[in-house]
Structure 1
Amino acid sequence: MAKDINGQNKQTTTDDWNLPKVKDVLDSNLVKLNYRELKGTLPIRQTEYMIRVPKKWNGTLLNDLDFCNKANSYLSMLLLEKGYALSGTHRRKDRSKSYDPAHEAHDFVTIFDLFEVAFGKPKRIIQLGCSGGGTVTLSMVEKYSDRIDGGIAACAATSQWMANMHLDGLFVMQSLIAPELPIVNLFNYENEQLEELGIKWKKAIDKAQKTPEGRARIALAITIGQWPAWGGRGNAIVDKPDITDLHALQESMYYSMAMLLPNLKTKGTSMIERAGGGQLRSNEGIDYVELFNNGNKNYKTAVKLLYKEAGINLLTDFEKINAAPRIKSDPIAIKYWSAPGRTHVGEPKVPLLRIHTSGDGLVYPVLTQGYEELVKQKGYSKLFRSAYVNNWGHCMFSSGEWLSAIETLMLRLDTGFWPETDPQAMNERAKKMEPNSKARFFNFQGVEKHNRTWVPSIENYIGEQK
C-alpha cells in the first residue's frame, strides 16, 4: 500500500538524501573503548579530519570520506572494538559549489602521511565509503593504488555516467509528457526556482499517471534511463513489487520517478555541473531505441504491455524522442571531469569490492554493473567483485552488511584470492560477524547492457570536443 508521498518528503531533508546514513544508537560498552585520537584541519583546503587508533590495533587502517560525521556511530565503535584504526574527514563546507573527488583523494594521502608520523605505518590501508565516499574510493583504487591495499565502494557514482543516465529518463519525459519544462542547465537555479520547477514536474507526472498513455510513458522513461523501478530516499513509499505484476511494477515506477524529477532534493546532478563550470550532460548521437533494447528485460516487457493496453504505438514515440532537439555538453565541463581522480576508467590496481542497494534512486545501482562491464573489457576482473543488497534507499546498509564487505576484502588481502561473493556467502559472513543485524545480499537483476559507460579521450582531456 502506498504511503503519502508528500508526508514522506517532509520527513526527509536534502542533506539526508545526499549523505550516507549512520546508526547513532551505541552500546554503553562500546562508548568506553580505549583509543587514541588525532584530529585537526588539513592545509590548503582546510578539510577537517580525524584519526582513531584502538589500544589493541590489528594493523589495518580503514579510511572513509565521511568518518568524522559517523565517528561515534555503532558501526565505527564496533570496528574500533575489533581492532581496526579509523580515519577520514568531514565533507568540506564548499563541496556543493566546488565538488572535486580528486582533491578529496589528495586529502586522504595527507591523512596517511599524518597517520604514519603519529602512529606508525599500517600493515594495510583499506579505502572505503558510501555515496561520495564510494566515488572517491574508485578514484583511490585507480589513481593512488600505491598508497592503499584495497577498496570498498558503496553506492558509488561516476559523475558523467550518472548525469547522462539522469538525462536520458528526463529526456523521454520531456519529449512525451512535458515539453515545456526544462531538464538541463539547472546548476545556477536558486533553491526557490528548483522548488517551483519540482512542483511543475510533479503536476505533470501526476496528470500522466492518471491515463494509460501516461503510465506507459513513465515506464518507458524509467527503462531507458536505467533507473530503478523501486527506489528513492527515506523509507520505501511502496512495497517492492513483483516484477511480473504489470500494474504494481508501473505504480512503483511512478513513485520512483516522483523522487527523481528536477527539484530541490535532486540537485546532486547540478552539483557536478556547477563544479565543472558548464553543462556536462549530452545525448548527441544517442539512439533511444538502442538504449531501450539495452534495458532490464522485465521492464521492457512491461513497457510493451502498457503500450498495448493504452492503444498507442511504441515506435511512434521512439520516433518522437529521437527527433527531439539534442543536448550538447560544454567542453569546459567535459575537460574538468576528464581529469584523473574525477572520473573512472575501469582500471582498479588493488582489490576492489563494490556494493550497492538495489533501491538506490540517487545513485543508480546499474552504475555498478556498468563499471564491472568496463573492468572486464579492460582486463582487470581478477581484482574486482560486486554485491547487491535488497533494500530501498541510498546507502541503506546494515552494520552486518558492512562487516561482511570488510571481511570479504580482508580475506582477499590475506589469501590473495577472492572468497565466495555470492549472496549466500555474503549473508553468512554478515550473520557471523553481527548475528542480530539484517543480511539482505541477493541476486540483482540488472540490464542487458549499461547505456552510459564513458572513458575520456585525449580531446576531452585537453578541452576539445568533436
Structure 2
Amino acid sequence: MVLVVVLLAGLLTATPATATGRQTHTGVIDGAAFRVETPERWNGTLVLYSHAYFSDGLPIPPEVWLANRKETEHWLLANGYALAASDYQGRFGFAVEPALRDQIAVLDWFERNVGKPRRTVASGMSMGGGIAVLLAERNPRRISGVVATCADLDHLAPYNMSLDVTFAIRTLLAPGEDIDLVLADDPAASTQALLTAIERALATPEGRARLALAGAFANLPPWRHAHHAPPVELVERIKQQAAWAEGSASALGPAGRADLERRAGGNPAWNVGVDYGRQLARSSQRGLVEEAYRAAGLDLGADLARLAAEPRIFPDAWATGYMYRYAIPRGITPAPVLTLHNTADGGASTDQENWYAAQVAARGDQDRLRQLFSDRGNHCAFSGAEEIVSLRTMFTRVETGRWPDTSPGALNAEVAEFGPEYQVVTNFGDFADAVLGPSFVEHRPAGLQRASR
C-alpha cells in the first residue's frame, strides 16, 4: 500500500493512498512542500532535484517537480532511481537561501523514512542548477555528484548584467522617463516602461542599433528559438536578441528584482566604475553592434559617451554580502559536476560555464568537471533523452570513479537510441514542442560579463 506522508511542524502522519506498485510520499516540512517517489526496486541512488526560478503569477503546475521533463522522471523511476525534491519555502522568486535548507530537510526525511542512499546525485534546472552546485559544496559528505542543466552558477552576475542592459535602454531609448532600475517605487510600471521602450525601438534602424548595444553588455545571443536555425538577416538577429532583453527586463528588471531586494535587504547590484566602452570591446556581440550602427548611420562613440556621462547605481553592501553568502559557489568540487547548456542561452548565460570552469581551475579538481553543450537557441531547451544521457554519465562517474566518453559523437549516439517520445524539445517562450535530433556539440563560451569575481 502506498503511503502519502504529511509532515507538519515536525510531526509525522501517514494516510493510505491507492497502491501503484511503488511509493509516493508528499507533505510539508517547515512550510515547504515536498515530494518523494521511490521505484518498485530501488537501486540505492537518489536524485535530489532543485527547480528553477518561478515568477509569481505564472501558471506553474502545482505539483513538486522531480525532473526537468516528465519523460526524464518516468525513465528514472522505471530504471530503479528514487526521486526527491522540495518546492522551497515560498516557492516563487529568488529562493536560493531557503532551497539550501529545504532540500537538505528533504534528504534528512528520506534517510529517516525510506533509507540511506548509497549515492545522492543533486540535479537542477536554471536557478536550480546553481542550487545543486551549492548543495554539494555545503554538504560534501552527502552529495555524490551534480548535474546542473542551463544553470545560473554565479547568481549575482545576471542581476548586474540585467542592470547594464536596462541602464542602456533607459539612457538611450527612454531618456527622461520615470524608470527606477533598482528599489523601484512602482516596479510594475518601471518594468512596463522598459518593455515599451524595447518594442518602440524595434521599429527603427536607430532603435535596433541601440538595442543591440544594450544586449551586447550581457552577451545576449541573437538566437532565441530552439526549433529554428540561427537567423542570418540583421533585423531578425536583433529581434531575437531583443526577445532576450525583454526577458531580462521582466524577470531580473525592476519587478523581478524587487523579490531579491526584499530577501537581501537592499539592492545587491551596481554599475559604479563600469566602462561600457571596454565592456563592448570584450563582448561576443561586438560585431553585431558595429553592423547595426553602420546600418543605422549612428555614431557608436557618441552613444557610449552618453552612457559614460549617466549617473551610476550603487549597491547596498549588506545586500551584496547576502549574495556572496548564499548564492555564489566557490568551485571547490567536493563531488564531480556535470553541466549542460544550450550554446545560445540568453536566459542563464552560456558564459557562466566559462566562469565556473575558471573557479574550478583555481579552487577545485578540474578532472571532476565535465561541461556539455547542446547546439540550440533558447533556455533549457533539452530533450528528455539528452537529460537522461547526462544523468547516466554522472551515474557512471559516481559508480566507477571514471568519466565515460563525453565526446559529442558518443553522447549523440546514446541519445539517438531513445524513441521519438524522448526527443521532444520545448521552446520556452511560446512553449511549442517539436521532435528534434541529438545536438551535443563542442563549444567554447565567451567570458562572463560582470562576473562576481
Asked if structure 2 preserves the Cα contact closer than 8 Å seen for 1:171 and 1:183, the reply is no
Partner residue, 2:241: 253
The alpha-carbon deviation at position 64 of structure 1 amounts to 1.0
User: Paired residues, what number?
Assistant: 408
The code of the aligned residue for 1:277 comes to G
Alignment CA distance shift 1:89-1:356 (3 Å): same
Cα distance in 2 between the residues matched to 1:397 and 1:32:
33
Cα distance in 1 between the residues matched to 2:218 and 2:141:
36
Cα distance in 2 between the residues matched to 1:264 and 1:335:
19
Alignment CA distance shift 1:379-1:437 (3 Å): same
The alpha-carbon deviation at position 147 of structure 1 amounts to 0.8
Asked if structure 1 preserves the Cα contact closer than 8 Å seen for 2:130 and 2:151, the reply is yes
Higher strand share: 2
Structure 1 segment 353-432 matched on structure 2, within 5 A? 353-432=338-417
Alignment CA distance shift 1:74-1:302 (3 Å): closer
TM-score by length of 2: 0.81
Task: Specify which structure has the bigger relative contact order, considering alpha-carbon pairs within 8 angstroms and separated by 6 or more residues.
Answer: 1
Aligned partner of residue 348 in structure 1, secondary structure: coil
> In the alignment, which of 34, 38, 41 is matched to residue 28 of structure 2?
41
Partner residue, 1:440: 439
Cα distance in 2 between the residues matched to 1:416 and 1:237:
34
Asked if structure 1 preserves the Cα contact closer than 8 Å seen for 2:268 and 2:315, the reply is yes
| Per-residue Cα deviation, 1:246-291 (whole angstroms, up to 9, x for no partner) | 3432232233333433479984443222210111110111111221
The code of the aligned residue for 1:203 comes to T
Partner residue, 1:221: 214
Residue 322 of structure 2 is aligned to residue 336 of structure 1: yes
| Per-residue Cα deviation, 1:31-59 (whole angstroms, up to 9, x for no partner) | 996212333222xx321222222121111
Aligned partner of residue 356 in structure 1, secondary structure: strand
Aligned partner of residue 34 in structure 2, secondary structure: strand
Alignment CA distance shift 1:209-1:71 (3 Å): closer
Asked if structure 2 preserves the Cα contact closer than 8 Å seen for 1:187 and 1:271, the reply is no
Structure 1 segment 18-417 matched on structure 2, within 5 A? 34-42=21-29, 45-66=30-51, 68-70=63-65, 73-93=70-90, 95-96=92-93, 99-157=94-152, 158-181=154-177, 182-186=179-183, 189=186, 194=188, 196-231=189-224, 236=225, 239-242=228-231, 245-262=233-250, 267-296=255-284, 299-339=285-325, 341-417=326-402
Alignment CA distance shift 1:248-1:95 (3 Å): closer
| Per-residue Cα deviation, 1:372-405 (whole angstroms, up to 9, x for no partner) | 2332233532221222223444333221011011
Cα distance in 1 between the residues matched to 2:140 and 2:46:
15
The code of the aligned residue for 2:303 comes to D
Asked if structure 2 preserves the Cα contact closer than 8 Å seen for 1:61 and 1:86, the reply is yes
Instruction: Give the % identical residues.
Output: 27
Partner residue, 1:10: none
The code of the aligned residue for 1:63 comes to L
The alpha-carbon deviation at position 312 of structure 1 amounts to 2.3
Partner residue, 1:463: none
Alignment CA distance shift 1:278-1:39 (3 Å): same
Alignment CA distance shift 1:263-1:352 (3 Å): closer
| Per-residue Cα deviation, 1:338-370 (whole angstroms, up to 9, x for no partner) | 21x432222222101111234544322322332
The alpha-carbon deviation at position 106 of structure 1 amounts to 2.3
Runs of 5+ consecutive residues of structure 2 not aligned to the other structure: 1-17, 52-61, 424-437
Asked if structure 2 preserves the Cα contact closer than 8 Å seen for 1:404 and 1:433, the reply is no
Cα distance in 1 between the residues matched to 2:281 and 2:290:
12
The code of the aligned residue for 2:450 comes to R
Cα distance in 1 between the residues matched to 2:337 and 2:369:
5
The alpha-carbon deviation at position 80 of structure 1 amounts to 0.6
The alpha-carbon deviation at position 124 of structure 1 amounts to 0.5
The alpha-carbon deviation at position 166 of structure 1 amounts to 0.9
Aligned partner of residue 417 in structure 2, secondary structure: helix
The code of the aligned residue for 1:110 comes to A
RMSD: 2.8
Alignment CA distance shift 1:146-1:214 (3 Å): same
Higher helix share: 1
Cα distance in 2 between the residues matched to 1:237 and 1:166:
22
Cα distance in 2 between the residues matched to 1:338 and 1:82:
38
The alpha-carbon deviation at position 91 of structure 1 amounts to 3.5
Asked if structure 2 preserves the Cα contact closer than 8 Å seen for 1:240 and 1:252, the reply is no
Asked if structure 1 preserves the Cα contact closer than 8 Å seen for 2:191 and 2:254, the reply is no
Partner residue, 1:27: none
The alpha-carbon deviation at position 412 of structure 1 amounts to 1.6
Aligned partner of residue 148 in structure 1, secondary structure: coil
Cα distance in 1 between the residues matched to 2:146 and 2:47:
9
Cα distance in 1 between the residues matched to 2:267 and 2:420:
47
Aligned partner of residue 217 in structure 2, secondary structure: helix
Asked if structure 2 preserves the Cα contact closer than 8 Å seen for 1:60 and 1:125, the reply is yes
Q: Greater CA deviation, 403-412 or 250-259?
A: 250-259
The alpha-carbon deviation at position 187 of structure 1 amounts to 5.8
Q: Greater CA deviation, 59-68 or 408-417?
A: 59-68
Partner residue, 1:17: none
Aligned partner of residue 409 in structure 1, secondary structure: helix
Asked if structure 2 preserves the Cα contact closer than 8 Å seen for 1:170 and 1:183, the reply is no
